[in-house]
A and B are shown apart, each in its own frame.
Chain A
C-alpha cells in the first residue's frame, strides 16, 4: 500500500475522526438531525480540510513556528468564508439548515488538529490525501449518525419514507436536541466495548484525541488546552 492510500485508510477507518478519535463533537451533535444535513456538513468540512492541508503544507517552511497557530487560523477562516459563500450560492436550502455551523467549521478541532499534527510536517501530496481521508471519515461518521437519528425520529432515510407511518410512530425526540446526546452516548458506549475487545485481541484502537476524554496532544489548540488537566 503506498503512502497516499495508507493516508485514506487511516482517515476513514483506522483513525476515523468521529468514531475513533472523537473529534469535532459540536457539529456532530448539531447537524445530524437528518442524513442529508450530516452529509452536507461532512462534505463542506472535507473541502475546507483538503484545501487547508494543501495550503498549510505548501507554506510549512515559510510560517514561523511561534505564530503558526494564528497563521493556520487565518488560512482556515479564509477557506471557510469561501465555502460559506459557495454553499449560499449553490445549495441555499442546505446552507439555511446548517446555519451558523458552517462558519463555525473554523473552530472545528479536526481541521486545526490535522494542520498541527500532519500538514505542517509533511509534503503536499500526503497532506492532501490525509485531508481527503479525514474528511471522508468525518462525513461517514456524520452521515451514519444522521441516518440513525432520521430513521428513528421520522422513519425516513435521506427524506424518503422507509418505515410506513401506518404502524411506525416516529420517536420525534431523536431528531431534536436530546436525541443527539442520546445517540452519541450509545455510540461512545459501543466504542468503549469495541475498544476493550480490540485491546484484548492485542490490536488497540487509537486513543480519542478530542475534547471528550482524550488528551489534547494531537489537537491544534493543545497550547490553549494545556491547563485542562489541572482544571
Chain B
C-alpha cells in the first residue's frame, strides 16, 4: 500500500508529466483556453490513460513477457513500442464508439477531446515508463491514474492563469504562445519545490 502511495504522489506531483517530463505539451499549450474546456480534456485524458495503462500492462504481462513463452526462449518484449501505439490508437477509437452508443451524456462532454488523445505522447509515454520501471498491473494502473491526475491539475491551472492574463498588457512579441511558455516555466519552478518529497 505504501509503495502504491509513493508511486501515486511521485507521478502526480513530484515528476509532473507536463511540467517536468514534457509529455503532452501539445494539448497543454494548444487546447486550454478556458478552464471548462481544459477540465474536459483533462477528464478524457484521465479516463484514457488509466484504461490504456491497464490494457498495456495486461498485454505486457500475458503476451509480450509471457512466462511460458519466455521459457521456450521466445522474448517478444522488443515489440512493445509497435504493439502499444496500435493498441492505444484502437483503444481510443473503441472508447469513442462505446461512449457514443452507450453513454451519450458522457460522450457530449468528453467526445471532442478523445480523437486528440491518440496524438498525446503522454499516453504512450506512461505505458513505456510502466515497463521501464517494472511495474505490475496494479502499480501500472495507479501510475497511469496518478500521471493523468497530474496532467489534469497542470492543464486546469494553466487555463486559469491564461484566463487571468487575457487582459494584461503583454509585449507584442510575447503574445500568444510565448507568454504561455513563460507561465509554464513559472509553474514548473513551483512544482520543483516538491522535488525533495520522495
Q: A-facing mask of B9-31, CB < 8 A → 1, else 0?
A: 00000000001111111110111
Given contacts A185-B181, A225-B116, 6 further A-B contacts (CB under 8 A): A26-B24, A30-B22, A81-B78, A189-B178, A192-B174, A213-B177
Question: Does A1 sit at the interface, judged by CB under 8 A?
Answer: no
**Could you tell me the dominant secondary structure of chain A's interface residues?**
helix
> Which residue on chain B has the smallest CB distance to residue A74?
B82
Q: A-facing mask of B28-63, CB < 8 A → 1, else 0?
A: 011100000100010000000000000000000000
Q: Knowing A213-B176, A224-B116, say if A177 contacts B188 (CB, 8 Å).
A: yes
A/B interface sample: 30 pairs, CB < 8 A: A25-B29, A29-B22, A30-B22, A73-B89, A74-B82, A77-B82, A80-B81, A81-B81, A85-B78, A99-B132, A100-B125, A100-B128, A106-B81, A178-B185, A181-B185, A182-B181, A184-B181, A186-B178, A188-B177, A188-B178, A189-B173, A211-B30, A212-B29, A221-B119, A224-B115, A224-B119, A225-B115, A225-B119, A228-B116, A230-B112
- Could you tell me if A81 and B82 are in contact, using CB atoms closer than 8 angstroms? yes
- Could you tell me if A231 and B89 are in contact, using CB atoms closer than 8 angstroms? no
Collect the chain A residues with CB atoms within 8 Å of residue B109's CB. none
> Which residue on chain A has the smallest CB distance to residue B117?
A224
A96 to B174, CA, bound (A): 35
A188 to B80, CA, bound (A): 35
**Could you tell me the dominant secondary structure of chain B's interface residues?**
helix
A52 to B10, CA, bound (A): 36
Q: Knowing A81-B78, A100-B128, A192-B178, say if A231 contacts B23 (CB, 8 Å).
A: no
Query: Which residues in window 170-195 of B have CB below 8 A to A?
Result: 171-179, 181-182, 184-186, 188-189, 192
> Which residue on chain B has the smallest CB distance to residue A107?
B121
A161 to B84, CA, bound (A): 42
Question: Does B64 sit at the interface, judged by CB under 8 A?
Answer: no
Collect the chain A residues with CB atoms within 8 Å of residue B113's CB. 227, 231
Query: Which residues in window 60-110 of A have CB below 8 A to B?
Result: 70, 73-74, 77-78, 80-81, 84-85, 99-100, 103-104, 106-107, 109
Question: Does B106 sit at the interface, judged by CB under 8 A?
Answer: no
Most buried by A among B25, B37, B115: B25
Question: Does B140 sit at the interface, judged by CB under 8 A?
Answer: no
Give the A-binding residues of B (Cβ under 8 A). 19-27, 29-31, 37, 41, 78-82, 85-86, 89, 112-113, 115-116, 118-119, 121, 124-125, 128-129, 132, 171-179, 181-182, 184-186, 188-189, 192
Query: Which residues in window 185-231 of A have CB below 8 A to B?
Result: 185-186, 188-190, 192-193, 196, 210-213, 221, 223-228, 230-231
A179 to B128, CA, bound (A): 25
- Could you tell me if B116 and A103 are in contact, using CB atoms closer than 8 angstroms? no
Query: Smallest Cβ distance from B148 to chain A, in angstroms?
Result: 16
- Could you tell me if B79 and A81 are in contact, using CB atoms closer than 8 angstroms? yes
- Could you tell me if A181 and B182 are in contact, using CB atoms closer than 8 angstroms? yes
Q: Knowing A81-B78, A213-B176, A227-B112, say if A70 contacts B89 (CB, 8 Å).
A: yes
